[in-house]
Amino acid sequence: MSDRFEVLATCGPARAGLLRTSHGVVETPVFMPVGTQATVKSLSSGDLEALGARIILGNTYHLAMRPGHELISGLGGLHEFMAWPGAILTDSGGFQVFSQSGRRTIDEDGVTFQSHVDGSTQRLTPESAMAIQAALGSDIAMAFDECPPSDAEPPVLAKAMERTTRWARRCLAAEPAVGQMRFGIVQGGTSLPLREAHLGEIAAMAFEGLALGGLSVGEPPEVMHEVVAHVAPRMPAERPRYLMGVGRPQDILAGIGAGIDMFDCVMPTRNARNGHLFVAQGHLNIANTRYRDDRRPVDEACPCEACRRYSRGYLSHLFRAKEILYYRLATLHNLQYYLNIVRDARQAIIEGRFPSYAAAQSAPMAVGE
């Protein structure tokens, strides 16, 4: 396992490392832009390359529903399909399926659910989830797990953990694509004893990496930070650690400080579309009337195309006019912000100054400035 991941430096629990995939080496800590349907919304693969992204995330559920993993496989796999030369991690689809309360039924073998595309009855099992990811040809395939509600009682959490463990074994028994790594998922809600117990079970299996699932799903941020700070340092040091679906910049910095290596979240792209642009120690709402005649860039220190070339006034106009160009420029900016945070965090770890870097970045958010 250690030949795929190497820790180069530490600063307290925080780590800087290298993750070797079939489509290149990824420097960690890393933020993965979310390309759910074989696209990071409004951006081309060339845009992502220019930003310096080295790994993105795709979704098993959405790609299986449309256009279908068989079609993608027939067109050369997900990398060729979307003309992306870097690494790809695919989520198993478990979160999407289990979030459809009322439209799915679970049994020991798998989950039956209704497609959000056409309402047809569909089924996912550990074997089919892994087979879909093998057909897609992703570099990292996530195990199929049961995602309990955020407010689930301990007996419900324990039952989901037990099933996730049984399904994890079945996922490992499935045949991966050539060179494909597989990551197991640790559940347990916000219960520290349950998280520790499940970590022991999943870490004992031959997964190349481990992830923390079931967080940032409604619990207070301070509770999530407590869970991550407790569990992350206990995860095997020789394998990459992934915190799924997190999150705000301050949450990512807290995760890095606890020893997490990999992150993904729709926040930078979704916020961009809604007019919220990240800047140092906060964000601005481009819909605010104060920006209509503002000649300054969104962030003078940002190297993205939106900041190098255009003014806040122009972006304000594009947003109000609902012009397509706005979504591209805003998304470029927000992803640049996120990628810069983890790159700078990595350098701070290497230089032994991560705590001071994180403290400076995590100052209270200045909304609307």
Active site residues: 91, 264
| DSSP symbol at 177 | P
Residue 347 sits at the vertex; the CA angle it makes with 34 and 248, to the nearest 5 degrees, is 35
* 359/354 Cα distance (integer angstroms): 8
Q: Is 342 helix (H, G, I), strand (E, B) or coil?
A: helix
| DSSP symbol at 144 | P
* 138/63 Cα distance (integer angstroms): 12
Q: Which residue matches tokens 């695919």?
A: 90
Residues 6+ apart with CB under 8 A from 217: 149, 150, 245
Bridge-based pairing state of the strands 140-142 and 181-186: parallel
Question: Element (H or E) spanning 173, and its range?
Answer: helix 154-173
Q: Which residues pair with 277 in a beta bridge?
A: 284
Write the Ramachandran bin of 272: left for phi over 0, alpha for psi from -120 to 50, otherwise beta.
Answer: alpha
Token pair recorded at residue 191: 């219960």
Q: Which residue matches tokens 């190349």?
A: 208
Residues 6+ apart with CB under 8 A from 55: 19, 21, 26, 30, 32, 86, 87, 88, 89, 139
